[in-house]
Structure 1
Amino acid sequence: MTTEFWMYVLTGLSSVSLILLLIILVRKAPGTGLSEQLAQHKLELVQQQGQFQQQLSEQLHMQRQQLLQQQQEHLLQVLQKISDTQQAARFELSKNLQQQAIMLAEQVKQLTQSIDQRLKDIAGQVEKRLSDGFEKTNQTFTDIVKRLALIDDAQKKITELSNNVVSLQEVLADKRSRGAFGEVQLTALIRNVLPEQHFSLQHTLSNGRIADCMLFLPKPSGDIAIDAKFPLESYKKMTDLHSSAEERKQAQRQFKIDIKKHINDIADKYIIAHETADGAIMFLPAEAIFAELHAYHPDIVEEAYRRRVWLTSPTTLMAVLTTARSVLKDDATRRQIHLIQEHLIKLADDFSRFRGRFDNLAKHIDQAAVDVKQIHTSADKISNRFSQIEKVEWLDDAE
């Protein structure tokens, strides 16, 4: 109850007492002594009223002090409960944050391990494929170097044979010996350059003719026949300085007749439609005869071209065989190109899958980074809230 309420009560009681006193005085002492009695009663009433007000003020003061004490005790209890609640909330929040941090660290660790493992697997596969490719390439280069070494050795041997042509003339005086020499030289050249499955020696054609060698080449070249010819007698007479001019001219005419006959025989015997290529090769085992034809007898060379018979010496035949080997190698590569394309397509698919998985992984990492950043933001806000609460408590204590 407030002080105003008690003042109203006191005023009401005073008014009631005054009215009762007037009634009593009117009944007891009518006349002139009424004013004195009223004054006296009024004085007593004022004194009683003062005492009552003093008592009332003391009671109000005591009640106010008790109320203030109760309010302070209640406020202290409330503050203590708030402090306990804050401590419990801090402990629980700290515990939850630690658990979340541990869980997040574990997830990041597992994600990192998974990424490392996938990258290791991918790197291992790429390294293996590259290693296999390098090994095949190195093997190819090694084979090429070996073949070139064989070609160099054969070229040296051919050069030695060419240098010894003059000394061999006496040995090769017999036609059979010359034919055997040409076939042996042809066989040595071919075996040094081409694999066995791509040529055949003493090959029999459908017309019953036997070619010294048949090269098996892919389309559109087709199979090419090689026949060795060695017109040494007429050439020897033609170049003999001890013979007369007429004899040398006669030998020259015979030399041209022999060469043309060999060209026509090769064209008629070894060029068969739908079985062999549209040309054949005549192998001249002596470089000197080949040089003589190209230097002094262009008409014979043109006749050979017209009949599609290609004149070769040991050196030029080596170039022809090397070209044939390149053609065979290109054909083998072309046959295997679909396998290479399949592997490239599979490699492209693997790389596409790798790129998609890497993009998904990057998205997960970005999302994890955003979540961590949001967690840091929430932690900062919570810390700021605690700081503000501590400031409020400190201000209350200061008051």
Structure 2
Amino acid sequence: MEPSLFAQPLLRLGSSTITVGQGVAVGGAAVLIALLMLGMALWRSGRARADAAFEAAERAREAEMRMVGILRSQAEMQGRLGSMAEIFGARQAELTQSLSQRLDAMTGRLGQTMAEQTKSTHENLARLQERLAVIDTAQSNIQSLAGQVVQLQAILSNKQTRGAFGQSRMEAIVADGLPQGAYEFQATLSNGTRPDCLVRMPNDTPSLVIDAKFPLEAWNAIRAAEGPDAQKAAAQAFRRDVEVHIRDIADKYLLSGETQDTAFMFVPSESVFAEMHENFETLIQRAHRLRIVIVSPSLLMLSIQVIQSILKDSRMREQAHLIQGEVIRLMEDVSRLDDRVRKLQVHFGHAARDIDDILVSSGKVTKRGQKIEALEFGANDPDRPSASPTDVGARPVESRTGQLKLRVVEEE
């Protein structure tokens, strides 16, 4: 039998021979396997597409849910933003109102402060203007005073005018301290000399002489001297002039029985007086030996006050008998006053007794009034209370008309 087509050899591999049938079987198996693999691949591909579609659907659903959540959150956020906008609007309105009130209050305070500051500034300017006016007045006074000082310097530069200046100061002090008639300026003494002032002492005692012609030109020379030698020479000249003046006062004005044994030499400057006591002690001692007292304006004023007290004591002693007579008459008046007071005391005693009698009479009148209160109407009066049998000492009294009865209570 002729072999079939499938048994014919197809391929020889070494010692093995592969037939056509085997090749076909192997090819069919391969095709089958390929179909199986293709089907499995298609199944897997469909499964994969289904899974992908499912996953896509799940993702779409999740995305939709997320979108819904986002929309819900957006709506909530919009609501919150709206409420926050309302709150912020209200707060902004309140803040605007508060700021407006505070600005108004601050503006008012600033206006008031500025008004007060303006008023204070005007007042300060007014006071400053017043002070400037005072300063201008003081400046004008200072200028006038400077002119007066220049005039005074011109006056003191002349010997006669300088003496008149000392004389005027002394006269002013004496006239202010003593009464009129207790002093005399430029009086003439028995020797023909004329002192600057003569103070009349009480009880016919000698008068006190005051001289005001102090040599101030020598003192001014000391002030104007430059250098030790010039000052020494000016000091010697001043000492010599003062000694001569002290001796002239002692020789001219110390008259026994007419003037006091002591005279005053008036120095019209306190500084000159102090300088003399400090640097010219010999002049002070020489003046004391000659019974000349050097006085400054303050010492002269004190001496004038002492003399005034002496004059007052003298006048009181002179009027002592008049005072004694007045005291006697005063005692007589006091005695008469005592007698009249005693008489008035007696009158007061009588008045007290009269008052006691008046009090007794008023007591009786009061009792009579109590009796009048006991008046009763007649028996026909329905308002009259019935007589009580217990009224002891009561007796009825009938009136003339018979309509009124009196019940008189006898006093025990």
- Normalised by the length of structure 1, the TM-score is 0.48
In our comparison, the structure showing a higher alpha carbon Rg is 2
Task: Choose between structure 1 and 2: higher helix proportion.
Answer: 1
